[in-house]
Structure formats: C-alpha cells, structure tokens
C-alpha cells in the first residue's frame, strides 16, 4: 500500500475537495521532491473554484502554486540543490526549447505547464517538480515569506518593465496582494508619491496601515482630480494590478509616462480614446508572470527590504482552505498563508 497525504483537489466546476491522495514519487532524474512548508492562496485559486469559473484549471489537480518547502529527495541528475535546502518554486514549467524559451522568455513558453492549475500543486504535504523550477532561498528568510516568491517574481517582471526612477510618482490600481507588493517595491526603489486605488474599504484600510496615505476610492472621489492635485500633470507610472483598469491607468498617466498591465481579468475589455496613446506618447507594457525573475525575487526576499509579515492577514491549516478561499473571495483578507 502506498503512502497517502491530505490534499485540496480541484475536482470540477465549483468543487474543491480535501481528500487523501498518494504521496507523489520522483519519476525522472531531473526532479526533486519537496516537503511543502507554506503556500499562499492566490486570487487565481478563487477564480478556479468559483461558479462559473473565472480561470480554467484541469479537473483532479491539486491546487496551490505559491509555495516554499524543503527538499527531501533529489533525482540522480540534480546537482544545484540538495536534500535539506529550502526552495521556492516557479510554478510555470517551461519547455526550454521553443522560440520564447530560447530567447530567455520562459513566461511566454509555448508549452507551459502550470503547477497548481494543470499539474499537481502544493495544497498538500509533498510535491514533485523539475529541479529547474526550484530556487534555493537562504534559511534566514522566514518561511512564510517564501510564499510570496512567485508573486514577487511576477512583480519584479513588471517593475523591470516600467523602470521607475527615484522620485517618480506611481499609481497602482488594485490594492490586493499584488498591488501591495508593487507599492512596496516602488517605495524601495525610491518612488516619490504612490497613489493606491481600490473600492474595497478593507483593502484601503489595510493600505493605510501599511503606511501608504494616498489611497482613493474612485466610486467616492474624482480619481483624476486627486491624481492631478498630487502630481500636477499625472503620474509617471501607472500599474493596473486589477486587470480591468487599463482605461483609468491611461487617463491618469502623464505624457510620456508608462502603464504596466498586470492583473488578469479575461472578461474585461477596455474602452478609451485611442488618440490618448498618440497625444501622450504613452508606453503600455504587458507583464505576464515571472520572466526569468525568480533569482531577483529570491534576492529581494533575502534582503528583507519589504514588509511581508504585514501583508499576511491570515495563517491557516490546510483543513481550513475553504474558509480561506471564501475570505479572499469576499475581499476580507489580504494574503492568506496555508500550512499543510
Ligand atoms: Zn498566483
Ligand atoms: Zn518553451
């Protein structure tokens, strides 16, 4: 009889089940087996289990893609990490041979396999992945911080694209975990004014508690006027961390500024006067997942420059995963970290 473990398995539309499944085994020499220590609940997990689903996952897959753990076993060809190492994982397994992979754009791989969405993830005790996806992180980093690595690698991709300079102003649309990480990264990079936009009172309060005072609820205040009052000409950089704020971002960015489009909402379509892009000479930059940015994200974690403890609103055992998903769906949480 094989060993089993408790796992949160996506079984089909609206159905996430906690059940015993076999412990995964290493089947290729390049793989590693990880004992999961902490895993974040992502907005994507909420979208996957909602009805109708806002994001499509493969049925009978263990969810959970933002994780950190200890290596407990390595395949025969693994040399860069060893048993006992703490690692964070890039959950987007890339092929390594397509046009994009060969041009150092693994996030755009033509054959990407998404761990915790289409391949078994980390809402469980053990996970087996290709060793090329595992990045060693120093033991001095608190384990829960490791659960931010994936989001952070995504955010580093976006911050690299907009290249914010010291003193420049930024607006961030969406004050969820990703928006908060952008705000902290911009602050660490020396940003001047940082304006944060959201309509959830919980998230706006949270943002103030994290030390960002320029928060706006556009349903209650004229956002553009607010931005002009604080910047005179519009922000240097705007980030759409919500996935539906492109038109707003374009409207509040100064001439010659940059807009990063990060959040994903596949239902959203943007309507805006196209001439604004021409008149303002705006640069609109898509930022999708982690573009070979895990090493940088690990360095940010190790530098301890961000206040990640402050972003953890809940810490729960795996048995409370449904409650965690519900809290996040109702925007009554920021980052929820699960301990399997
Ligand atoms: Zn995610
Ligand atoms: Zn590829």
19 alpha carbon – ligand 1 mean position (Å): 22
Angle between helices 201-209 and 177-188 (to 10 degrees): 30
Mean pLDDT, residues 251-256 taken together: 98
CA distance 174 to 264: 12
pLDDT at 286: 94
pLDDT at 1: 54
All domains in the chain, ordered by first residue = 4-148+308-339 (3.90.180.10), 155-286 (3.40.50.720)
Mean pLDDT, residues 189-216 taken together: 97
Contact 198, 240 (CB under 8 A): no
94 alpha carbon – ligand 2 mean position (Å): 5
Does the structure show a pLDDT above 80 at 284?
yes
Report which bound ligand comes closest to the CA of 63. Answer: 1
DSSP letter string, 287-339: --S-SS-HHHHHHHHHHT-S--GGGEEEEEEGGGHHHHHHHHHTT--SEEEEE
CA distance 174 to 203: 9
45 alpha carbon – ligand 1 mean position (Å): 7
pLDDT tens for each residue of 68-98: 999 999 999 999 999 999 999 999 999 999 9
81 alpha carbon – ligand 2 mean position (Å): 23
pLDDT at 331: 87
Burial letters for 314-337: b for 16+ Cβ neighbours within 10 Å, e otherwise?
Answer: bebebebbeebbebbbebebbbbb
Report which bound ligand comes closest to the CA of 328. Answer: 1
CA distance 91 to 64: 9
pTM: 0.95
């Amino acid at each position: 009889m094989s060993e089993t473990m408790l796992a949160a398995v996506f079984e089909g539309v609206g159905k996430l089940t906690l059940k015993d499944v076999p412990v995964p085994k290493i089947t290729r020499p390049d793989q590693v087996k990880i004992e999961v220590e902490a895993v974040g609940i992502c907005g994507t997990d909420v979208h996957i289990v909602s009805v109708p689903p806002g994001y499509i996952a493969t049925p009978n897959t263990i969810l959970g893609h933002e994780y950190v753990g200890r290596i407990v076993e390595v395949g025969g060809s693994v040399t860069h990490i060893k048993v006992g190492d703490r690692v964070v994982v890039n959950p987007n397994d890339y092929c390594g041979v397509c046009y994009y992979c060969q041009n150092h754009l693994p996030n755009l791989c033509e054959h990407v396999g998404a761990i915790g969405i289409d391949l078994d993830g980390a809402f469980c005790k053990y996970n087996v992945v290709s060793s090329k996806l595992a990045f060693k992180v120093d033991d001095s980093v608190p384990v829960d911080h490791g659960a931010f690595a994936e989001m952070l690698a995504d955010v580093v991709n976006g911050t690299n694209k907009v290249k914010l300079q010291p003193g420049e102003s930024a607006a961030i649309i969406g004050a969820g975990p990703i928006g908060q990480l952008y705000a902290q990264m911009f602050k660490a990079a020396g940003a001047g004014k940082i304006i944060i936009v959201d309509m959830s009172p919980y998230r706006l309060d949270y943002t103030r508690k994290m030390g960002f005072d320029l928060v706006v609820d556009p349903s209650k205040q004229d956002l553009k006027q607010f931005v002009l009052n604080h910047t005179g000409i519009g922000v240097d950089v705007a980030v759409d961390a919500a996935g539906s704020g492109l038109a707003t971002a374009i409207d509040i960015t100064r001439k010659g500024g940059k807009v990063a489009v990060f959040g994903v909402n596949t239902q959203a379509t943007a309507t805006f006067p196209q001439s604004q892009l021409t008149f303002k000479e705006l640069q609109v930059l898509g930022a999708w997942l982690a573009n070979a940015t895990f090493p940088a994200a690990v360095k940010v974690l190790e530098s301890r420059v961000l206040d990640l403890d402050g972003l953890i609103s809940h810490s729960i055992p795996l048995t409370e995963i449904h409650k965690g998903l519900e809290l996040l769906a109702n925007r009554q949480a920021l980052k929820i970290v699960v301990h399997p």
